Amino acid sequence: MSTSSTSLDPPAETGKRHGSFVVGGREGRARAASIVRWTFLVVVVIVLYGPLLILALFSFNDSIVIALPFKGFTLEWYREALQNPLVRESLKNSLAVALVVTPVALILGTMAAFATTRFRYRGRGGVAGLAAGPLIVPWLILAVGALLFFSKLKVPLNLRTIAVMHIVVAFPLVAAIVTARLVRFDHRLEEAARDLGATNREVLRYITLPHLVPALAAAGILAFSYSFNNFVISFFVGGFELTFPIWVFSTLRHAQNVPIVNAISTLVSLAQLLIVYVAWRLWRRRSRKMTANDDPMDMLW
Amino acid sequence: MVATAPSVQPSSGETTRARPRGRWAGPIYSIAPTLVLVALFLGPMVILLYYSFQKASLAGAGGWTFDNYTSILTDPTYAKVMLTTIVICTISMLIMLAIGLPLAYILAMRTPPRFELLLLLMLVIAEELNPLIRIYAWRMILGRGGVINWTLQTIGLIDEPIDSLLFSSTAVIIVLSTTYISFTTIPIYAALKAVDPDLLEAADDLGASFFTTCRKILLPLAAPGIFVAIILVYIPLFSEFAAPALVGGTSGYMIGNAIQEAILESGNRGVGSAMSFMLLVLSGAVAWIGYRMAKIRRLQATS
């Protein structure tokens, strides 16, 4: 709505759009303010993405030393990175862990969200507070605690302990996202479905779940990247196992910049971008379909 | 609101079976998440507290003691590390608020919807990418042969590359304050998005300047968002250890590094867990202060 974007220009409530800029009565001042805003936005985008772009550029640089000026174009670093056994192992481990963590976190998180929003019982506040814990306690502290905990119980440290601790931090996030969605859910829809003779399972299948799909999809992507990107927890509770962030860290810790890290980082970042892009397209298509046709069958996929 | 009331009779007999809606449904749903959290969240926290009061010994624990805390509190090295940590975190947080507040305002109120969505998506994606990759990327910009030094040398502003750009507290601040911009901006954006535009128009009609509007309307209404941003960003900053380890050098050595060194390198569980626990208490204090401030601000805004 244009009111929200024009209302701050002094007498520009009647402001009309000119391209992407809003031009109001005091045209000069409004235009100056607009230029300042766009410059600011561009600077922020450069700060956020510029470093990654430079990292990607250096991955094609034909020199073992990462420094300007560029020496020429090569794909050698990509070949080396993809053939490096440690890179392959760490990526495989990270993917395996994230693929286990994501569904478990979705299930536990959704259960926690239902438990804290849909029912009233003694101890509900306690459950909600407990589920907020891992979101507030810094990961480093939880990681140290978990390391001491596992070693006290003589649990061997490996990918399993990594996955378990990733679940502990990821599912409260899922719970928070699903809770936010459930709170905005109109329960009369479920009541209406029951009035019309729907069974419990049908209500869940055709009313509640379709409503939760966007939240679950977003939560799933976030849980996956929480796990895939997590460094601190894996570093402490992973023993000698290698995950991708641990490999990056230990490679960079005692070495100068390494071109194969550039190459593999570029590939991993592109893959992550692709996942978000595909999810975004799917969501767009779904929401367009939903407005065109209100059949709940379509809302699910 | 409450969905537990069985206001609707099932239409056929077969649906009465296994309906998770009665008195026990809530507790049943909460069993698995609660068990996981009690075992794997509270468990580690209790163990942390336990070890922080144990004498260091090779076997792991050697009897109750308060020494871990006294040695941290009396040792000036730790005081210095703590001071560095507080300074780095606070400056980074202020920089992020200085970027996040105007950014959230522009996104929420001054951007055409098409760009608003695109920019939000860019913020979210920036958050999705691996933070270690971002830290590494900054090394290529700040390093000896990095982009900044090369540019300055090419222009002729400097003859020798500036070494202090990388491996310093400045580098840590630069890296940290660009890492969490999304987490700072999005909660403030959400709070501002809920502001009724009429309020701003009214302020405008009554002759309020832009800065008065900011101070009297936007800031108080953004306060809950700022509080969330502080919880999400300021607290994790204190336990940061990858960034200082990779770009911090000695002047950017933070409490997270000290904890990592105590636990993983020198095997001093007592001191390591005592530091962790003190950090936890500090985080709690910051969260509580932020919460109180957000509340007071909101009360002032509504009265």
Q: Tens digit of pLDDT for each residue in A192-247?
A: 888 888 888 888 888 888 888 888 988 998 899 999 999 999 999 998 899 999 99
Give me the total of CB pairs closer than 8 Å, taking one residue from chain A and one from chain B: 294
CB atoms near residue A65 (< 10 Å): 10
**The pLDDT of residue B177:** 92
Q: Retrieve residue A269's tokens.
A: 């970042």
Let me know: does A165 contact A146? Beta carbons within 8 Å.
yes
Minimum CA–CA partner of B192 in chain A: A4
Q: What sign does the dihedral A229-A235-A237-A238 (CA atoms) show?
A: positive
Cα–Cα nearest to B135, from A7, A259, A265: A265
Task: Examine the pLDDT at A300 and tell me if it is beyond 70.
Answer: no
Q: How many CB atoms lie within 10 A of CB B275?
A: 26
Cα–Cα distance for residue pair A247/A264, rounded to 1 Å: 11
| Nearest residue, CB atoms, A7 vs list B3, B23, B200 | B200
Which of B45, B60, B137 lies at the smallest CB-CB distance from A55?
B137
Contacts 24+ apart (CB under 8 A), A143-146: A143/A232, A143/A233, A143/A235, A143/A236, A143/A237, A144/A236, A144/B48, A144/B259, A144/B263, A144/B272, A144/B273, A144/B276, A145/B43, A145/B44, A145/B45, A145/B47, A145/B48, A145/B273, A145/B276, A146/A233, A146/A236, A146/A237, A146/B40, A146/B44
- If one compares A289 and A105, the residue with the highest pLDDT of the two is A105
- Integer Cα distance of A15 and A3 in angstroms: 9
pLDDT confidence of residue A290: 58
Tell me, yes or no, if B32 comes closer than 8 A to chain A by beta carbon: yes
Integer Cα distance of B83 and B87 in angstroms? 6
Residues 199-228 of B with CB under 8 A from A: 200-201, 204, 210, 213
Q: Do A145 and B44 touch (CB under 8 A)?
A: yes
Amino acid at B134: R
Residues in chain A: 301
Show Cβ contacts of residue B209 under 8 Å, excluding neighbours closer than 6 positions.
none
Nearest to A158 by CA among A238, A236, A80, A104: A238
Predicted confidence band of residue A293 (pLDDT cuts 50, 70, 90): very low
Q: B202: helix, coil or strand?
A: helix
Collapsing DSSP to helix, strand or coil, B148 comes out as helix
Per-residue pLDDT at B244? 93
* Local confidence band at A286 (pLDDT 50, 70, 90 cut-offs): confident
Q: Can you say how many angstroms the Cα of residue B130 is from the centroid of all Cα atoms in its chain?
A: 16
Give the tokens for residue B42.
Answer: 């509270």
CA–chain centroid gap for B102, Å, is: 19
What is the value of ipTM here, to two decimals? Answer: 0.82
A261-270, B83-92, B280-289: least confidently modelled range: B280-289
User: Tens digit of pLDDT for each residue in A162-178?
Assistant: 999 999 999 999 998 89
List chain B residues with CB under 8 Å of A3. Answer: 197
Tell me which chain A residue has its CA closest to the CA of residue B51.
A148
Q: Do A136 and B235 touch (CB under 8 A)?
A: yes
From A226's Cα to the closest Cα of chain B, the distance in A is 8
Most confident of A12-26, A197-211, B77-91, B156-170: B77-91
Taking an 8 Å cut-off on Cβ atoms, the answer to whether B273 and A108 are in contact is: no
The predicted-structure confidence for B149-179, as pLDDT tens digits, reads as follows 888 888 888 877 777 788 889 999 999 999 8
* A55-64, A162-171, A272-281, B162-171 — most confident range: A162-171
Say how far apart CA A48 and CA A45 lie, in whole Å: 5
Q: Write down the pLDDT at residue B297.
A: 60
Q: Which tokens is A231 given?
A: 């460094």
Give A293 to chain B, closest Cα distance, Å: 24
Give pTM, 2 decimals: 0.82
- Rounded CA-CA distance A273/A161 in Å is 28
CB atoms closer than 10 angstroms to residue A149: 25
Closest CA to B48 of B274, B208, B243: B274
Q: How many CA atoms lie within 13 A of A295 on its CB side?
A: 5
Least confident of A58-67, A182-191, B9-18: B9-18
Distance CA(B233)–CA(A267), nearest Å, equals 28
Please tell me the predicted confidence (pLDDT) of residue A25.
56
**Is it the case that residue A184 has pLDDT exceeding 90?**
no
Contacts of A55 (CB under 8 A, 6+ apart): A262, A265, A266, B133, B136, B137, B140
Burial class for B252, CB neighbours closer than 10 Å (0-12, 13-18, 19+): buried
Nearest to A34 by CA among A12, A61, A66, A63: A12
Contact between chains at B280 and A138 (C-beta distance less than 8 A): yes
DSSP state of A61: B
Residue B9 — pLDDT band, cuts 50, 70, 90?
Answer: very low
Q: How many CA atoms lie within 13 A of B17 on its CB side?
A: 4
The span from the CA of B298 to the CA of B222, in Å, is 9
Mark out the alpha helices in chain A (DSSP H runs): 2-6, 27-58, 76-83, 85-117, 124-136, 139-152, 159-183, 187-195, 200-203, 209-229, 232-237, 244-253, 259-292, 296-300
Kindly determine whether residue A120 and residue B26, on different chains, have CB atoms separated by under 8 Å: yes
Distance between CA atoms of A147 and B263, rounded to whole angstroms? Answer: 9
Tokens of B32: 């698995």
Highest mean pLDDT among A2-11, A140-149, B8-17, B241-250: A140-149
